[in-house]
Amino acid sequence: MPHDIVNGHIGHIGHNHDHPDHLHSHMPDADKAEELLVLTTQFIDGFIGAKDKMAYLRIAGVPLEIDCPNGGASMKLVDVTLTTEWQVGTASPSFGSRELSYLPYPGDMVTERTNLGFVYVSLDAKHVTDLRSFLQNHPAAAEGHT
Residue range 39-57: mean pLDDT, rounded: 95
The answer to whether residues 94 and 103 touch, using CB atoms and an 8 Å cutoff, is no
Domain that includes residue 45, residue range: 25-142
Confidence of residue 11 (pLDDT cuts 50, 70, 90): very low
Q: Cα(first)–Cα(last) distance of the chain, in Å?
A: 25
Any domain includes 12: no
Any domain includes 17: no
User: Per the structure, how many domains does the chain have?
Assistant: 1
If one compares 88 and 133, the residue with the highest pLDDT of the two is 88
CA-CA distance, 43 to 53, in Å (whole number)? 12
What is the residue-averaged pLDDT of the chain? 81
Any domain includes 120: yes
Any domain includes 14: no
